[in-house]
Amino acid sequence: MTYSSSLAMNRTRYSGRNRNSVSFALTKRKIGPISNTIILVVLACLLGLIYLTQVTKTNTYGYQIANLQTKQQQLENQKQNLEVAQAQLQSLNRVQNSSVAKSMVAVTPSATLTQ
Amino acid sequence: MSPKNINLKIGYIKRIRILYGVITLIVAIFVIRLFYVQIIKYSEYKNAALSYQLKQYQIPAIRGLIEAKDGNQIVPIVLNQTLYTLYADPQYTKNLQSIADKISSVIGGSKSFYANQMATPHEEYVILAKKLTQNQSNKILSFKIPGIGTQPNAYRAYPDGSLAAQLLGFVNPSGQGEYGIEQALNKELAGKPGRVKAITDASGVPLPATNGNIETAPVNGSNVVLTINLGMQEQLEQILAKDYKSTKSQGLSAIIMNPSNGQIVAMANYPTYDPANYQNVTNPKLFENAAITDAIEPGSVMKTLTTPAALNLGVIQPNTSFFDPAHWVVDGFNITDIKIDGGPREQNIASILALSLNTGAVWMLMQMGGGQIDQKGMDAWYNYMVNHYRLGQITGIEQGYESAGYVPKPNMSDPSIDLTYANSAFGQGVQLTALQLAAADSSIINGGTYYQPTLVAETISPSGKVTINQPKVLVRNVVSPQVGSDMIPLEENVVQAYLKGGFSFMNFPPQYMVGGKTGTAQVAKPGGGYYTNIFNGTYTGFVGGNKPQYVIDVYNIKPNVPGYAGSYGGQPVFADIAHMLINEGYVAPKTN
């Protein structure tokens, strides 16, 4: 016999009619309709909050994506500008008009000289 | 429990029930309303919401570059560049002079112009400047001036300025290629734009946490590598600019073509324009690549086509002699030579070309028939013009607005058909573009293979896949290889004849083969007949070492020269080009 069961037997022994006694028996608690409703509303709010948090979090990625795309576009524009600048620096007109080209001496093959 | 407590408890329960009923009622109202809005009016509200939230954007594809060979390397000659348009909303701009000062400090320009633009009443968008660089745009935006903004725009950039402008064409503000390569290969260059369809916030940023967002990535355009040699193209354009002035021309076109594969290595016209500022051009004719859009009566250069046709038919031989009566009467019209060549006498095939005998060309046409201009001869000549030399139809080169030219049909019901065909034998009454002539002459010189003229060496897809544009044979056996070989010395003889005649610029070193033929073409009047004092000067020829390496064709429109337009207007241009090709080492000399 355990200690708790021995206590329970003693209490039963001394209890009787019209005697005030304390019952340690567990009673079934009931939650009323209002509590139910409040709990449901709170749960729904919690779910809504979680949903909104997730959606907001996901949507902030949209702004990050938009920012990155803007940066990507700017970098692509810079790349284009550099390519254009490079091509302009290497263009025939520029090379032809360069100081190096101007200091060159034209050589005409003697065999093709017109008379 | 006392009755008082019992009544109090009953009161609490009543109030709680009433409250419960009220809450239930409110919830029920919400549920009914939501049911009405979300179920019954679902479509209506969904569409209304989507109209605000759902945005569709086109993601522009990056247009392909146009590149060309510069020595051993391939360099871009048309690129893309994003430049910015500076705009103002006059409803928001204040302190106009201060704003104008700030703008002018970055991009220069007239302060009063900016101030006046911003003072435009009843406008919400005025353009202050175009083609700002990204740095300039960023500097102006850094001022954070209310009502001032910049907008990116895609432009084509031309690092070599107006080089090959008419061959390249340009791209209009709608992104469509106009003229030249840009028009002909617009589909390949433009690519395919992508698409975004998404729920967005108020500023238009797509919200990822929504269903049904669609994003299709753009397919960028392919790069096109041209067959033209940039150095040669540059020098050709310089020659045309010089000779345009020296011959007092009204338009000068020239083509340098590789006869062994149909590739155009240089092609230019003068005058030309700057494609970066095409909107400033007032005469749209300048946009056209006249070498392929303008078909003219070519004149005596046509004899380089008549002669091989007769040779290939076997009705003449390279050493055939004949008696030239110095004139023919056809349909009551007297056909004579443009030159006075000594009257009736014995002539041969070489002298037909060297002296440019119209009567000799007509005689060759007669030999194609029964010794006179007849149906058989005209049918044979028509067959050569259309089916062998592909005249009267476009070549299919990658250029916009190519002209098909004109070849008359041998319709015997036409009372002047004999005269028309007699004229066609020496290049009148038919119309050819410079390209058609170059392609046809190439097919003869190379031994009988007509290659489709092309400007595209290869295309490079966005993924880097290179597709080489292989030479495309359109006609085989244009003439026999023997006839092709026979024509080379005949045309070399023409060059030598001019050299002996005092045209010193036709002196070429002996280790190179140079041949050709002049053409002095009468110009048709709009109302019929021909001008007596206006001529076009044309020239077709070749330059090479062991074999012809380049075919050169020149069309000089209405040059004002002291002599025959072909000899003094077309021939000097050819000579300049041939000397350039030789002197710059583009031509491999003879090895023996």
Asked if residue B32 and residue B77 are part of one domain, the reply reads: no
Measured distance CA(B312)–CA(B459) in Å, rounded: 38
* Of B162, B186, B205, the domain-final residue: B162
SS3 of B414-479: CCCHHHHHHHHCCCCCCEECHHHHHHHHHHHHCCCCEECCECEEEEECCCCCEEECCCCEEECCCC
- Note whether A59 contacts B209, CB cutoff 8 Å: yes
Q: How far apart are the first and last CA of chain A?
A: 138
By the CB < 8 Å criterion, does A6 face chain B?
no
What pLDDT shows up at residue B285?
95
What pLDDT shows up at residue A38?
92
Chain A interface test: which of B220, B223, B234, B587 (most A C-beta within 10 Å): B234
Asked if residue B129 and residue B12 are part of one domain, the reply reads: no
* Of B142, B162, B182, the domain-final residue: B162
Query: DSSP string spanning B375-399?
Result: HHHHHHHHHIIIIIS-TTS----S-
Measured distance CA(B256)–CA(B263) in Å, rounded: 9
Model confidence band, residue A115 (pLDDT cutoffs 50, 70, 90): very low
Asked if residue B327 and residue B473 are part of one domain, the reply reads: yes
Asked if residue B391 and residue B328 are part of one domain, the reply reads: yes
Per-residue pLDDT for chain B (592 aa), expressed as one digit of tens each?
567 778 888 888 888 899 999 999 999 999 999 999 989 999 998 888 888 888 888 888 999 999 998 888 899 999 999 999 999 999 999 899 999 999 999 999 999 999 999 998 888 899 999 999 888 999 999 999 999 999 988 899 999 999 999 999 999 988 999 999 999 999 999 999 999 888 888 777 888 777 778 889 999 999 999 999 999 999 999 999 999 999 999 999 999 999 999 999 999 999 999 999 999 999 999 999 999 999 999 999 999 999 999 999 999 999 999 999 988 999 888 898 766 567 888 999 999 999 999 999 999 999 999 899 999 999 999 999 999 999 999 999 999 999 999 999 998 788 899 999 999 999 999 999 999 999 999 999 999 999 999 999 999 999 999 999 999 999 999 999 999 999 999 999 999 999 999 999 999 999 999 999 999 999 999 888 899 899 999 999 999 999 999 999 999 999 999 999 999 999 999 999 999 999 999 999 999 7
Q: Check whether A18 has a pLDDT greater than 80.
A: no
Q: Does some domain include residue B418?
A: yes
The interface predicted TM-score of the complex, written ipTM, equals: 0.72
**What distance in Å separates residue B397's CA from the closest CA in chain A?**
26
By the CB < 8 Å criterion, does A84 face chain B?
yes
Q: Does some domain include residue B561?
A: yes
Per the structure, the complete domain to which residue B27 belongs is given by 3-40
CATH number at residue B70: 3.90.1310.10
Q: Does some domain include residue B48?
A: no
Asked if residue B407 and residue B486 are part of one domain, the reply reads: yes
Model confidence band, residue A105 (pLDDT cutoffs 50, 70, 90): confident
- Note whether A91 contacts B152, CB cutoff 8 Å: no
Measured distance CA(B441)–CA(B394) in Å, rounded: 16
Model confidence band, residue A6 (pLDDT cutoffs 50, 70, 90): low
Residues of chain A in contact with residue B513, where contact means CB-CB under 8 angstroms, are none
Asked if residue B380 and residue B516 are part of one domain, the reply reads: yes
Q: Does some domain include residue B244?
A: yes
Structure-token pair, residue A7: 């206590």
What pLDDT shows up at residue A5?
54
Q: Does some domain include residue B202?
A: no
pTM of the model: 0.83
* Of B127, B162, B197, the domain-final residue: B162
What pLDDT shows up at residue B54?
85
Asked if residue B122 and residue B7 are part of one domain, the reply reads: no
Nearest to B512 by CA among B551, B549, B552: B549
- Note whether A77 contacts B82, CB cutoff 8 Å: yes
Measured distance CA(A50)–CA(A44) in Å, rounded: 10
Structure-token pair, residue B309: 């046709």
Q: Which residues pair with B257 in a beta bridge?
A: B264, B551
Asked if residue B536 and residue B485 are part of one domain, the reply reads: yes
Asked if residue B67 and residue B24 are part of one domain, the reply reads: no
Asked if residue B445 and residue B510 are part of one domain, the reply reads: yes
Q: Answer whether B51's CB lies under 8 Å from B43's CB.
A: no
Q: Does some domain include residue B53?
A: no
pLDDT in tens, A66-88: 899 889 988 988 898 899 988 88
Q: Does some domain include residue B209?
A: no
Q: What's the structural domain count of chain B? A: 3
CATH number at residue B509: 3.40.710.10
By the CB < 8 Å criterion, does B159 face chain A?
yes
Residue of B nearest to A95 (CA): B160
Asked if residue B113 and residue B18 are part of one domain, the reply reads: no
Nearest to B78 by CA among B174, B291, B221: B221
Asked if residue B421 and residue B282 are part of one domain, the reply reads: yes
What pLDDT shows up at residue A93?
72
